[in-house]
Structure 1
């Protein structure tokens, strides 16, 4: 179950939640510019779970196939970021992005392109915000579209190692009064999560200033 990793709790969890809130808020602002209409993304709550549990969390909530935008990130900590939607929601998102100007066939045709663009905006906003606030830099690969179950998206197999952990966020979109729910997940190994914890401790010291530490 990856219990060697001490859970992100207390001030570290609060700091990470605050950083992701800012990232999601920037993502909403960037999407608003692209869509030309109000976009609201909910404040996420964060859990750190193993890959099996992450797959189960989604399968408990979603019965349809899933669609995901995937981007790998590298830097002081590395991993794989996923923006995941139920397949039924993904077409609603495309319609919102394209302003209902397309026919049903055109929506299907544009789906991958619109999802990749949306995923790129949201994942980049979240990861760039995290990197900036932790005073580090991350590089990201180009977005890739995946379809499948929670198990396939989180790469769960019989050989899945215990140390694969997932930062799991549940978010709601409201775009042009449509309800579109989705998930942001960041898959990282224990060494990367340990580095993330160290950077969060530095961030807290800077903000709280209780020990006068500088980054």
Structure 2
């Protein structure tokens, strides 16, 4: 999409409370944020967020749309470019997880939201209390640009437990396959 190689760092991963995820974002990012949000359902369910500092989102949109666009043209197409980019990244991440775990997931259409960390993790309208957040921090590097972002997955406790069981089964399969190759 950007016509350049994208380098991703090894993600750091934490499972934190909803409030701790909001605090983590507030500590790391003082300015406005932009996020692509998609809900997913299947063997485990929740909401995935691809979060960028607003300026990074603009840089990513410029990388996707091209340098020749002026400010007004860029602003008009920015949200659409971010939604499509977020859709590709989040679908790629979740589809890879689902394939490795031998499960399937369905994804909603992407939605671009802006605001502070608290706004992005807003779960008003949900019946249950906010669940844990699987929080990944990834550095993105696109053609000498410092484009960094976060992937957060908001899941309730039953979904976290289902994911944990699926990961356990995956590890068992990998270990069994390894033992068969050694024998």
| TM-score normalized with structure 2 length | 0.91
Match of 1:62 among 25, 29, 33: 29
Q: Distance in 2 between matches of 1:160 and 1:84?
A: 24
Match of 2:144 among 177, 194, 198: 177
Which aligned segments of 4 or more residues in structure 1 are displaced greater than 3 angstroms?
159-163
Secondary structure of 1:169's aligned partner: strand
**15, 22, 25: which is aligned to 1:48?**
15
The DSSP-based 3-state class of the residue aligned with 1:35 is coil
Aligned to 1:101: 68
SS in 1 for 2:148: strand
Q: TM-score, normalised by structure 1?
A: 0.78
Q: Retained in 2: the 8 A contact 1:35–1:97?
A: yes
Pairwise CA RMSD: 2.0
Gaps of at least 5 residues in structure 2 are: none
- Number of the residue aligned with 1:208: 175
Count of aligned pairs: 178
> Displacement of 1:163 after TM fit?
5.5
2:43: which partner in 1? 76
Counterpart contact for 2:123–2:130, Cα < 8 Å: no
Equivalent residue for 1:142?
Answer: 109
* CA distance in structure 1 between the partners assigned to 2:169 and 2:70 by the alignment: 51
Deviation per CA, 1:146-203, whole angstroms, max 9, x where unpaired? 111111211278x996651100011111111000111000000000000001101100
The separation in 2 between residues aligned to 1:57 and 1:195, in whole angstroms, is 25
- Per mean C-alpha deviation after superposition, the further-off stretch among 161-170 and 51-60 is 161-170
Q: 2:81 aligns with which of 114, 119, 130?
A: 114
Indicate conservation of the 8 Å contact 1:40/1:175, yes or no. Answer: yes
Gaps of 5+ in 1: 1-33
Q: Is the Cα contact below 8 Å between 1:66 and 1:148 reproduced in 2?
A: yes
Q: 2:6 aligns with which of 18, 30, 39?
A: 39
Aligned to 1:86: 53
Aligned 1:181-196 pairs, distance under 5 A: 181-196=148-163
Offset at residue 99 of structure 1 (A): 2.4
Contact 1:51–1:156 (CA<8 Å) still a contact in 2? no
